[in-house]
Each structure stands twice: as structure tokens, then as C-alpha cells.
Amino acid sequence: MSELNLILLGPPGSGKGTQGEALQEDLRLPYYATGDILRAAVKDGTQIGKQAKEYMDRGELVPDEVTIGVIGERVEGPDASDGFILDGFPRTVPQAEALEDEMNKLGRKMTAAILIEVPQDEIIRRLGGRRTCEQEGHVFHVEFDPPNQEGVCDVDGSPLIVRDDDKPEVIEKRLEQYRTKTAPLVDYYEDRGILQKVNGDEAPDDVADHIRGLLATLRREEEMEM
């Protein structure tokens, strides 16, 4: 396939991060997760981190101009010239429009927006049980992926914490933000003919297989058109 420019779409807790990392390994493409980029900026105390922190702590979306700048500079960089995987961006219609403008400017197109669908009660179970390593952000789950020793990261031994935005009242806020601001992107990408849906209510490996399957289909369709 000429180039693969992918968006992972779905509510918080739908597994975008897990699938993004699997795809990154499979496809050897850069993976840009705005949540991870913003958390690193907060930790490093950069200007962007300072602008983002209060919104993130409340479970609200960071203003568009901050996230658009963050992603814009990566998409147009040399690492992304064969394609890229976006996780957590776009999350609003203005962000999607900005991405489209940026791609037009570069003479490129998005390949697919992959919507990972998961029922709401499953999302709450996933987010509520998530534990994150304080040092590097390695992710575990009390029920589905417990660490060897409770409260301790298997990878680097640092304490596992509940991310501020995984606390129950903030989870509710994040889901509300998804419903009101991000869900309209489903129609947005449907209208552009690039929406692909996968069932995210399955084991991570099975979801990854579905995504591989749909990318293989897209590749075949492209070859037939050429």
C-alpha cells in the first residue's frame, strides 16, 4: 500500500492504546497518542503541559489549538512520510478539519478511521480497574492483566497508581466529552468513506486480528484499483 495514515477512534477505554502499539509493531509506522504526548508534557513541565494539565485532571478536552499544534508538527515531520497511526486525535470536528487541511497541504489522504466499539458498562469496568506505572506509564488491570506483585510495575518496579483521570467522577466526565464532542466524528469519517468498524469487546489479540484483516482488505482493494 502506498502509505498508511490511520486514525484509531473510540471511547476512552476501548483499547486504542493497546491496538495502536500492536499496529506500530506490525506496520513499523510512528504512533502518536495525544494522551501520552500531553502526559509527558505535563510531567516535563513544558508550556504545553502547563496549558493542558488542568483540563486533563478534570477529564475535559484540552483546547483544540494545543492538540492541533502537537499533532501537526509530527504528521509533517520526516518520520511520518510513509504513514502514521493516530490515537486520541482527532477528538473534535475542528481537530478533524485541521488534520484534513494539513493532509491536503501535504498532498496526502487519510487511509482509514478505525472505530473500536465497546459497550459502556465494559468501558467503565476497564477504566475503573486500570493501574498505571508512575514512572513510565506501563498499564495493568486489576482483573484482566494484574501485575505479578500487587501495586508494583512488572517492568520497572515503580508503584502502580490510579491515573487522576481514571477516578470514577472523572471517568464519567470523559465519557460525556466523548459522547458530545468526539462521537460526531463517526459520521464525519463515514461521510468521507473511510470509516471502518471493529468490535472491541473481545480479547486484545482478536481485535488486533480483525484490524489486520481489514487493513489487508484495504490493501487488496487498492491493488485492484491500480
Q: What are the residues binding ligand AMP (CB under 6 A)? A: 12, 34-35, 38, 55-56, 59-62, 67, 88-89, 91, 95, 165, 174
Give min distance, CB of 221 to ligand AMP, in A.
Answer: 29
Q: Are 200 and 116 in contact (CB under 8 A)?
A: yes
**Cβ at position 127, least distance to ligand AMP in Å:** 9
Which residue in the list 53, 126, 131, 163 is annotated as catalytic? 163
Q: Taking Cα atoms as reference points, which of 188, 168, 180, 161 lies closest to residue 123? A: 168
Q: Which is nearer to ligand AMP, 91 or 149 (CB)?
A: 91
Closest to ligand AMP by CB, 49 or 224: 49
DSSP state of 80: G
Residue 156 per-residue DSSP state: T
Establish whether 50 is a catalytic residue.
no
Q: Which cell numbers hold the place of 75?
A: 504528521
Catalytic residue chosen out of the listed positions 39, 53, 126, 174: 174
Active site residue 109: no
**Max intra-chain CA distance, the chain:** 54
Query: In the structure grid, which three cell numbers stand for residue 175, read together?
Result: 465519557
Q: Which is nearer to ligand AMP, 162 or 218 (CB)?
A: 162
Residue 88's region, left for phi above 0, alpha for psi from -120 to 50, else beta, is: left
**Which residues are designated catalytic?**
16, 91, 130, 163, 174
